[in-house]
Structure 1
Amino acid sequence: MATEATMKKPPRRWHIGVFLLPAFLIYTAIMILPLAGTLQFSLFRNIDQHQTFVGLENFRTLFGDPRWADGFWNALYNNVIFFIINMLVQNPVGILLAALLSSSKLRFSAFYRTAIFVPTILSFVIVGFAWKLILSPLWGVAPDLLNMIGLKSLFSPWLGMEKSALVTISLISVWQFIGIPMMLIYAALLTIPDEVIEAAECDGITGMSQFWKIKLPLILPSIGIISILTFVGNFNAFDLIYTAQGALAGPNYSTDILGTFLYRAFFGFQLQIGDPNMGAAIATMMFLIILVGVGIYLFFVQTRLRRYQF
């Protein structure tokens, strides 16, 4: 026979909802409502000064009209290259720096960590303008620095050449944000139990061999988080390219990515008249690309990395 104690219903924890409500309202006002408004706006078109529902017509125009499709596919291609360079350079180098700076034998490691992380907190305007000055063939310091080591013949106006502009701006982005993967991996390395390290040393695994065989598998979940943050950040990028190369993302749209393409489409630039509905369609495509990428990571990658967590 059930006792009175067992028949009691569990208490309703109303306080959880009370504490979550302010954050939910703020997130809804700042993120959910603007996102829903953008998705809705992409389904309309301004006809005779009235917003008329046209369904997916804006997306057909984006993919089928050469005036829009050429720019969109060029921006998407450049965005993919921008992401790949950041992924293959920024994250591996950041992991290597974290491994080196986590060594107890390294002196002044705190100073090195601070110096590497400082560019991360700088404004995009400062970074873009500073590197534009540094790499300028007229008044930049890059030619003189290369001349000091006998390599001035290798200098070229990298930001002004179609073949090298995108790679150059990508490497500037790497320089600015390499401190983020470095600090996250450094923090992950500090969470590895001392017993694991001591057991590895007892087995004769030390130095870089210890990092590759013991530490690296244990920080794979953190590397996965860094990878998805890099993906989201790169496909939302805008500020650095706009500051360094302008709204036209020159030369000849060679550094144009989805962010700058969206800016010109929505607000217009020079002789191009802004089309907010097409801009909303481009923003929707950016959202879907990021959503698919994050979904693939959550359902196919993260589940395989859980076995490495403590």
Structure 2
Amino acid sequence: MTAPKRAIRWHIGVFLAPAVLIYTAIMILPLVGTLQLALFKAVENVQTFVGLDNFRTLFGDPNWSTGFWNALRNNVWFFVIHMLVQNPIGVMLAALLSSPKLRFSAFYRTAIFVPTVLSFVIVGFAWKLILSPLWGVAPNLLDLVGLKFLFSPWLGKESSALIALSLVSVWQFVGIPMMLIYAALLSIPDEVIEAAECDGVTGMAQFWKIKLPLILPAIGIISILTFVGNFNAFDLIYTAQGALAGPNYSTDILGTFLYRAFFGFQLQVGDPNMGAAIATMMFLIILVGVCFYLFLVQTRLRRYQF
């Protein structure tokens, strides 16, 4: 007796087709086009295949390599500040707001999350005005608490401009890790918490020994999202410091460097082929980071899932 044939589930393909077509049109095709453009060069207004020559120029020509390594170094520092400041603060806020004893926790969650829905243009210009030494309110606010001596034109100094913008970005997006960690804390089974309380593990000890290990997978997801988002960053730097990412390129990151290379700015003539090469390097950096997380970090975090 022959086994009955398994029914072909055509409806799965029908439901997936619109999403696949849209994703292909707005993500896959532009990505392939960018990778292809990076392998060509305009010779007498004719696109000519040059292989990896654009990448050799990017790494070997001081006119390009100096700006690229500066932007990459700033981007790494931009990411490190988010990892060391934004995500720990998000975890701390989530732990506080998940306490059943805290009153008005819904109001606090909303207030902290609201900046994430604001436009980059609004955030960039608002903080530029706040931190201005001429008409900003930051000097007056520090003067009220007797700390005006700490104020300086942070956005106008090479040593502090990138740090100041990184902290502004932290202020805007700290609500995202807070909400994700908050959801992870709420998903911990009540039986686990009750068992810990029966063993006398309460307060901060309960968070460090019980809750934190259980939310490590969520922290891992937040970390990789932070990595991808920071290495795709552009809007805040461009809004606050312009395409030149001043002062003296001290806030230049890969996104602004790509913008100037592709479209040109002031005396710099745009070169779409070199811009595509920079975009390809950004894609490879993000791809390596995501693969590192998926194959090395996530596999070790599975033991903490419940």
| 3-state secondary structure, aligned to 1:150 | coil
For 1:8-39, what per-residue CA distance to the aligned partner results, in whole angstroms no more than 9, with x for missing partners? Answer: 12111111111111111100000000000000
State the match for 1:243 in structure 2: 239
Q: Specify the code of the residue in structure 1 equivalent to 2:263.
A: F
| 3-state secondary structure, aligned to 2:250 | coil
| 3-state secondary structure, aligned to 1:162 | coil
- Which of 261, 264, 269 matches 1:268? 264
Task: Determine if the alignment matches structure 1 residue 220 to structure 2 residue 216.
Answer: yes
Q: CA deviation at 1:268?
A: 0.3
State the match for 2:106 in structure 1: 110
| 3-state secondary structure, aligned to 1:136 | coil
| 3-state secondary structure, aligned to 1:51 | strand
Q: Specify the code of the residue in structure 1 equivalent to 2:10.
A: W
| 3-state secondary structure, aligned to 1:251 | coil
Q: Distance in 1 between matches of 2:51 and 2:213?
A: 48
Unaligned runs of 5+ in 1: none
For 1:192-230, what per-residue CA distance to the aligned partner results, in whole angstroms no more than 9, with x for missing partners? Answer: 000000000000011111111000000000000000000
Unaligned runs of 5+ in 2: none
Q: Specify the code of the residue in structure 2 equivalent to 1:116.
A: I
TM-score, normalised to structure 2's length? 0.99
Task: Determine if the alignment matches structure 1 residue 232 to structure 2 residue 231.
Answer: no
State the match for 1:96 in structure 2: 92
Q: Distance in 2 between matches of 1:219 and 1:150?
A: 40
Task: Determine if the alignment matches structure 1 residue 15 to structure 2 residue 11.
Answer: yes
State the match for 1:172 in structure 2: 168
| 3-state secondary structure, aligned to 2:168 | helix
State the match for 1:142 in structure 2: 138
Q: Specify the code of the residue in structure 2 equivalent to 1:118.
A: V
Q: Distance in 1 between matches of 2:35 and 2:253?
A: 20
- What are the within-5 Å matches in structure 2 for residues 54-69 of structure 1? 54-69=50-65
State the match for 2:298 in structure 1: 302
Task: Determine if the alignment matches structure 1 residue 45 to structure 2 residue 41.
Answer: yes
Q: Specify the code of the residue in structure 2 equivalent to 1:43.
A: L
Q: CA deviation at 1:168?
A: 0.5
Q: Distance in 1 between matches of 2:238 and 2:156?
A: 14
- What are the within-5 Å matches in structure 2 for residues 20-39 of structure 1? 20-39=16-35
Q: Distance in 1 between matches of 2:112 and 2:11?
A: 43
Q: What is the aligned-residue identity percentage?
A: 83
| 3-state secondary structure, aligned to 1:163 | coil
Displaced runs of 4 or more, over 3 A: none
Q: Distance in 2 between matches of 1:100 and 1:211?
A: 10
State the match for 2:78 in structure 1: 82
For 1:290-310, what per-residue CA distance to the aligned partner results, in whole angstroms no more than 9, with x for missing partners? Answer: 000000000000001111111
Q: CA deviation at 1:160?
A: 0.2
Q: Specify the code of the residue in structure 2 equivalent to 1:250.
A: G
Q: CA deviation at 1:109?
A: 0.6
- Which of 198, 217, 224 matches 1:202? 198
State the match for 2:189 in structure 1: 193
Q: How many residues align?
A: 306
Q: Distance in 2 between matches of 1:181 and 1:148?
A: 32
Q: Specify the code of the residue in structure 1 equivalent to 2:29.
A: L
Q: Distance in 1 between matches of 2:288 and 2:279?
A: 14
Q: Distance in 1 between matches of 2:219 and 2:160?
A: 29
